[in-house]
Amino acid sequence: MASSNEASTSNTQVAREMHANQPVFLTTRTPYPLPSQKFVIPTSWKRFHLSQLVNKAVGLEKAVPFDFLIKGGLNAGATGEMLAPGMTLGDWCAANGVGEEETVEIEYVESVMPPQKVGEIEADDWVSGVRNVDGYVMTASYDGRLRLFDHSKNSVMDVPVHSAPITSVSLISSSTSSNDEDKIYTVATSSHDLSACITQLTIPSSPTSSKGKSSKILASLHLHTQPISGVASNSSGTKLLTSSWDSLIGVWDTTIPSSDEVPLPDEESRDKKKRRKIENASATNGRGAETKRKAPIGVLKSHVGRVSKAAFLSGGEGGEEGKAVSAGYDSTVRIWDLEYGVCERTISASEKPFLDLTPAQSGQTLLAASTDRTVTQYDIRATSQTQSLQATVATFTHASTPSCVCVPPSSFATSSPSSTTTTVNSHQFITGAYDGIVRVWDMRNPKGAMAAFKTGEGNADSTNTGVKRTKKVLCVDWRKGLLTVGGEGGLEVWKVGEEA
């Protein structure tokens, strides 16, 4: 009898859901806004039905798929919760304690289409840094070389820069020569050889140009006594930050001095013999007499362990870059005042060594990847010292250690109504992990990735056993709908989102 009553109650609930309606208010930050009004929709509707409603109401000639972020309720949190595939609006309301008479606010965002692999390029060594620029893919590798490929996978340049593994690459500037015949790229690289370098690459704009390709190491940067983990340029290309295992962060300008600012190591000093050996080896990697030795304009000291990454903080669109952020193996995230060279705030975590970080486009939060298999979003606006729990906005859990995290450039993440193609949402970001999986996330939905794909498929183990194994992802770069992935498996290019 009890089971019969339970079945009757369940059938009644299903019937009620089929005929029930829910008042909703639809909002968006996309170029497809609806009139400000309340809609009453069936609680049996799923994501597909809501997407159809928006497309028809806006009158889009070409269908645009949307995801829906529902705000309010007991479990949605401050930022809301994405409506999961297969879940009805009624299911969500029941799970979050929302009654039939309550108006639900739903924000719709453009969906991330399934990533599509564009191509792959085999590499002689691990790829530790990537950057998309003007139809080229720039890579930095553990063999100390900086390479440039076109999108047809042709090698354009192959430049020896360092005598030890390169850890990262950053574009300082991109320009055209005065006669419009050449493209000139100035880039910064960091390495385990205890130095960073500023290198200029010159490429003829036309294949018929009489000039050939050329490269020149303009300057080497000297401060650190242990491997340099990363280098980052500000948006104007006037300053650099280097982070190192020696717990220091170097602040540099990008002007090339007329003479050396740092003398060569003293040959008579026993403690400096190793560094002298590295310098001599570096000279064979393209560093000649014209390569100037630069000194930093500032040094940031506060970390008590390896510094994994440092980056400039723009403070949002149009903001000044007078601040920087960093993360390290000492389980801290630090916010710096560059004008005074002091750490103005520290976010302390417990046993959470950080491997990478990137500021969000708003300048109000940052994303930090940790060895505890999470990427954490921290609020960096407060002025006092803060424990991790107090500053945590959201935590994004991974199945394996996330090694890198990136957000798209703000120019790509901002679309206009006049645009004929869609761009990614400013809340989206990318992570790469040691399990070879790249994930696309929305900051407002930490419960699961919006899309994911595995890299290194089809690549056999280097032991020639023919057995496939996981290839670690070490770096990612996402610009204009192209996601470039580097790591143990070489280089792969994927289409994620639409080109702006």
What value does the mean pLDDT of the chain take? 83
- Provide the CATH number for the domain around residue 27: 3.10.20.90
Residue 334: band (very low, low, confident or very high) from pLDDT cuts 50, 70, 90: very high
Same domain? For 332 and 441 the reply is: yes
Same domain? For 104 and 137 the reply is: no
The pLDDT assigned to 369 comes to 97
Q: How far is CA 253 from the centre of its chain?
A: 24
Backbone angles phi, psi at 374, to 5 degrees: -135, 155
Same domain? For 328 and 432 the reply is: yes
Residue 296 lies in a domain: yes
Residue 49 lies in a domain: yes
For residue range 435-466, what is the model confidence (pLDDT) as tens digits? 999 999 988 888 888 889 999 875 545 445 55
Q: How many structural domains comprise the chain?
A: 2
Same domain? For 129 and 46 the reply is: no
Is 268's pLDDT higher than 60?
A: no
Between 157 and 459, where is the model more confident?
157
Domain final residue pick, 85, 110, 135: 110
For residue range 481-498, what is the model confidence (pLDDT) as tens digits? 889 999 997 899 999 876
Residue 144 lies in a domain: yes
Residue 281: band (very low, low, confident or very high) from pLDDT cuts 50, 70, 90: very low
Residue 195 lies in a domain: no
For residue range 342-400, what is the model confidence (pLDDT) as tens digits? 999 999 998 899 999 999 988 889 999 999 999 999 998 866 666 666 788 899 999 99
E strands within 295-436? Answer: 298-301, 307-313, 323-328, 332-337, 342-348, 354-359, 365-370, 374-379, 386-387, 392-397, 402-406, 428-433
Q: Do residues 397 and 389 make contact, with C-beta atoms less than 8 angstroms apart?
A: no
Same domain? For 133 and 46 the reply is: no
Q: Which residues contact 61 (CB under 8 A, 6 or more apart)?
A: none
Same domain? For 29 and 133 the reply is: no
Q: Do residues 70 and 78 make contact, with C-beta atoms less than 8 angstroms apart?
A: no
For residue range 196-249, what is the model confidence (pLDDT) as tens digits? 999 999 998 765 555 678 999 999 999 999 999 999 999 899 999 999 999 999
Q: Which residues contact 90 (CB under 8 A, 6 or more apart)?
A: 17, 20, 22, 43, 44
**Terminal alpha carbon distance of the chain:** 62
Domain final residue pick, 79, 110, 141: 110
E strands within 80-227? Answer: 81-82, 104-110, 116-121, 127-133, 136-141, 145-150, 155-160, 166-176, 182-191, 195-204, 214-222
Residue 316 lies in a domain: yes
Q: Give the residue numbers spanning the domain of 102.
A: 8-110
User: What number is the average pLDDT over the span 25-44?
Assistant: 89
The pLDDT assigned to 181 comes to 74
Residue 100 lies in a domain: yes
For residue range 89-143, what is the model confidence (pLDDT) as tens digits? 999 898 888 888 889 999 888 887 789 999 999 888 999 999 999 889 999 999 9
- Provide the CATH number for the domain around residue 464: 2.130.10.10
The pLDDT assigned to 456 comes to 80
What does the alpha-carbon distance between residue 293 and residue 73 come to, in Å, rounded to a whole number? Answer: 59
Same domain? For 136 and 88 the reply is: no
Same domain? For 304 and 414 the reply is: yes
Beta bridge partners of 439: 431, 452
Q: How far is CA 117 from the centre of its chain?
A: 19
The pLDDT assigned to 282 comes to 46
The pLDDT assigned to 265 comes to 78
Residue 162 lies in a domain: no
* Cβ neighbour number for residue 206 with a 10 Å cutoff: 10
Same domain? For 428 and 475 the reply is: yes
Residue 465 lies in a domain: yes
Same domain? For 249 and 331 the reply is: yes
Same domain? For 90 and 235 the reply is: no
Domain final residue pick, 110, 139, 172: 110
Same domain? For 67 and 87 the reply is: yes
